[in-house]
A and B are shown apart, each in its own frame.
Chain A
Amino acid sequence: MSEASWRSSQSCVELRGLTVSYGSTIALRQVELTLYDGVTGLFGPNGAGKSTLLRVLSGLLRPSGGSALLFGEEIRSSNESIRRKIGYVSHDSGLYARLSVVENLTLFANLYGVTAVRVDEVLDQLDMNEWRSTQVGALSAGLKRRVAVARAVLHEPDVLLLDEPYANLDDDASERVSATILSWRAPGRVAVIATHGAKRVKAFADSGIIIQRGNVISYRRRTSTGYEVAT
Chain B
Amino acid sequence: MAERGFVSKTTLLIRKDLLVETRARDTLPPMLAFCLTVALLLAFSLPGSTVMSDAVDLPVGTIALADVIAGFLWITILFAGLIGFARTFEVERTEGALDALLLVPLDRSGLFAAKALSNFAYIVIVQLVLVPVFALFFSLDLGVDWLVLAGVIALVDIGFVSIGTLFASLAAQTRSRELILPVLALPALVPVFIAAVELTSDLFMGGGLEAVAARGWFGVLLVFDLVFATVGALAFEFAID
Binding site for B on A (CB under 8 A): 58-60, 62, 77-78, 80, 83-84, 86, 88, 90-99, 103, 107-108, 110-115, 135-137, 144, 151
B20:A99 contact, CB within 8 angstroms: yes
Residues of the A chain whose Cβ atoms lie less than 8 Å from the Cβ of B97 = 92-96
Q: Is the CB of B96 within 8 A of A96?
A: no
Residues of B within 8 A of A98 (CB): 19-20, 23-24, 91
| Residues in chain B near residue A136, CB distance under 8 A | 95
Q: What is the CA–CA distance of A103 and B97 in the complex, to the nearest angstrom?
A: 14
12 contacts between A and B (CB under 8 A): A58-B99, A78-B108, A80-B107, A93-B97, A96-B16, A96-B94, A111-B9, A111-B105, A112-B3, A135-B23, A136-B95, A137-B94
The complex places the Cα of A103 from the Cα of B9 at a distance, in Å, of 15
Given A92-B99, A97-B95, A112-B3, 8 extra CB contacts under 8 A: A60-B102, A80-B106, A88-B100, A90-B99, A94-B95, A95-B100, A96-B95, A113-B4
Residues from chain B with Cβ under 8 Å of A107 in the complex? 12, 16
Interface range, B side? 20 to 34
Query: Are A86 and B24 in contact, with the CB atoms below 8 A?
Result: no
Within 8 A of A (CB), among B24-63: 24
Point out the residues of chain A lying under 8 angstroms from B1, CB to CB: 113-115
0 or 1 for each of B68-107: is its CB under 8 Å from A? (1 = yes): 0000000000000000000000011011110110111111
The smallest C-beta distance from A1 to any residue of chain B, in angstroms, reads: 26
B210 at the interface (CB under 8 A from A): no
Q: In the complex, what residue of chain B is closest to A80 when comparing beta carbons?
A: B105
Chain B interface helix/strand/loop/mixed: helix
Report if A77-B241 is in contact (Cβ < 8 Å); known contacts: A93-B96, A98-B24. yes
Alpha-carbon gap, A84 to B105, bound state (A):
6
Contact of B95 among A83, A88, A93 (CB under 8 A): A93
B67: interface (CB < 8 Å): no
CA–CA, A97 to B16, complex, Å? 12
B214: Cβ under 8 A from any A Cβ: no
Contacts of B103 in A (CB 8 A): 58-60, 77, 83, 86, 88
Q: In the complex, which residue of chain A has the Cβ closest to the Cβ of B104?
A: A111
Q: Which residues of B have CB within 8 Å of A88?
A: 99-100, 103
Q: Could you say which residues of chain A place their CB within 8 Å of the CB of B13? A: 111
Q: Any chain A CB within 8 A of the CB of B144? A: no
For residue B237, CB closer than 8 A to chain A, the reply is yes
Bound CA–CA A78/B23 (angstroms)? 31
* A-chain residues with CB within 8 Å of residue B102 when the two chains form the complex: 60, 77, 83
**In the complex, A137 Cα to B9 Cα: how many Å?**
24
B residues near A114, Cβ cutoff 8 Å:
1
Which of chain B's residues has its CB closest to A59's CB?
B103
Cα of A103 to Cα of B22 in the assembled complex, Å: 15
A132→B196 CA distance, assembly (Å): 47
C-alpha gap A113/B23 in the complex (Å): 26
Q: What is the CA–CA distance of A94 and B237 in the complex, to the nearest angstrom? A: 19
| Contact indicator B96/A78 (Cβ below 8 Å) | no
Contact yes or no, B107 A91, CB < 8 A: no
With A and B bound together, what is the CA distance between A101 and B1 in angstroms?
21
Which of B3, B4, B103 has the most chain A CB atoms inside 10 A of its CB? Answer: B103
Q: Shortest distance in angstroms between A216's beta carbon and chain B's nearest beta carbon?
A: 24
**What's the Cα separation between A113 and B105 when bound, in Å?**
10
Chain B residues with CB under 8 A of A59: 103
Chain A residues near B24: list those with CB within 8 A. 98
Query: Complex: how many Å from CA A110 to CA B96?
Result: 19
**What are the 5 A-B residue pairs with the smallest beta carbon separation, nearest first?**
A92-B96, A113-B3, A94-B100, A115-B1, A111-B104
Look across to chain A and name the residue whose beta carbon is closest to the beta carbon of B22.
A98
| Most chain B CB inside 10 Å of its own CB: which residue of A62, A93, A114, A135 | A93
Indicate with 1 or 0, residue by residue over B175-187, a CB within 8 angstroms of chain A CB atoms.
Answer: 0000000000000
* Residue in chain A with minimal CB distance to B92: A96
Complex-state Cα separation, A130 to B9, whole angstroms = 28
Determine the chain B residues whose CB is within 8 A of the CB of A103 once the complex forms.
19
Whole-angstrom distance between the Cβ of A207 and the nearest chain B Cβ: 24
Q: How far is the CA of A183 from the CA of B106 in the complex (A)?
A: 27
Residues in chain A near residue B23, CB distance under 8 A:
98, 135
